[in-house]
Amino acid sequence: MSNDVSPPEDVAADDVLRQAMAVSLRGCDELLPVADWWRKLARAQATGKPLRIKLGLDPTAPDIHIGHTVVLNKLRQLQDLGHTVIFLIGDFTSMIGDPSGRNATRPPLTREQIEANARTYYAQASLVLDPARTEIRYNSEWSDALGARGMIQLASRYTLARMLERDDFSKRLRGGLPISVHELLYPLMQGYDSVALRSDLELGGTDQKFNLLVGRVLQAEYGQEPQCILTMPLLEGLDGVEKMSKSKGNYVGITEAPATMFAKLLSISDDLMWRYYTLLSFRSEAEIGRLRQEVEQGRNPKDAKVLLAREITARFHGAPAADAAQADFELRARGGIPDDIPELTLTGAPLAIGALLKQAGLAPSSSEALRLVEQGGVRIDGATVADKALKVASGSYVVQVGKRKFARVTLAP
């Protein structure tokens, strides 16, 4: 982050305003223009009117990985400052296909694919954002209504020369690779989203900078105050080299099983861990700094990595599931289960999972047992129980609840 972050002369910055700017800048790659953002924050503080902060995501795949949550985390931090967060699902722009970072035309998705993916997007994003304070929009609301006439009028507000300055377009042009005309529409449509939503700030990855800047130009063309833009780094995957991507197999999916998520996060390098802390953790920078200092002074870096893995696993699966995932990892590391676990025999198989846990003394009640199942805190023979309606058949099982409760249960008819 190389911007001059001092407040402009016309902004009298108090501690609250400086803290808001510090939150904005944490982990970001660029904030442009910094002086304009100071003014917007100061105006919001003076008037009590929250700023409108926009993030658009195209539902090009059914699931979100933690790389996507880097920008979602920033959105949540700004949301916690009291501003209005707009989570924009690009159901219209998905049909064009974002050319950002592409050296070939992206195949457009069908309407059915887009709708299927969009159904899961917000549910997953809600694991980071506060749903009660999030405005959900779909850009088909205004893009479909443009029609051919409106599209031509929109295209008249931006030049082809400026569009071809875009890095991926210029590289393809120099390399003799095709650029489809519909791809030139993508930055215009994303920019028009900012006009339709009257956004004060738009967030995106570093690969989105050109698109975000188009939004500023179009807002000025339509007589609006231009938005500021904030870009976040693209998170490296588990290999520490390539951008996190499902296609590269170096990702952590936010819907993956807690034990899988925990183990994957523990697999990252010690150096990469600190980047993950900065971009993924909700711990304060001061707390992360103290932890890093302790590691530099001799504390085992695995301790810090466990704290990170627990925090992220708990965010998406709940604390009991994170406890169970840690216990599972430690158990596997020791090569087995505790030697002194109680053994008992129960009758009535097939037995409902809630009744089994209660009768085995692993839960105080059937309802509490079902809550533990719902949170991912129950395992049978190492496998997480996900079905609250499960009936366990006759046999002998190692049942685990949370991090430390075990029982070897034999079920008879």
Instruction: Please state, for a pLDDT cut of 90, what percent of the chain lies above it.
Output: 48
| Together in a domain, 152 and 252 | no
Tell me: the pLDDT tens digits for 169-214? Answer: 888 888 888 888 888 888 999 999 999 999 999 999 998 899 999 9
pLDDT of residue 198: 97
pLDDT of residue 2: 45
* Residue of 101, 72, 87 whose CA lies nearest to 183: 101
pLDDT of residue 94: 80
pLDDT of residue 66: 92
| Together in a domain, 373 and 276 | no
pLDDT of residue 338: 64
pLDDT of residue 406: 85
Boundary of a domain, candidates 203, 232, 261: 232
Averaged pLDDT, 49-66: 86
| Together in a domain, 290 and 256 | yes
Tell me: the pLDDT tens digits for 280-321? Answer: 999 988 999 999 999 999 999 999 999 999 999 999 999 999
Most confident residue range from 32-41, 143-152, 293-302: 32-41
Report the predicted TM-score, pTM, of the whole model to 2 decimal places: 0.73
| Together in a domain, 167 and 267 | no
Task: List the end-to-end C-alpha distance of the chain, in Å, as a whole number.
Answer: 66
CATH number where 295 lies: 1.10.240.10
Averaged pLDDT, 390-404: 81
Q: With the C-alpha atoms ordered 233, 235, 240, 244, is the resulting torsion angle positive or negative?
A: negative
Structural domain including 307 reads 236-317
What is the average pLDDT score of the chain?
87
pLDDT at position 101 over 60: no
Residue 297 CA: distances (Å) to CA of 71, 145, 245, 276, 290: 32, 61, 34, 20, 11
CATH number where 163 lies: 3.40.50.620
| Together in a domain, 228 and 243 | no
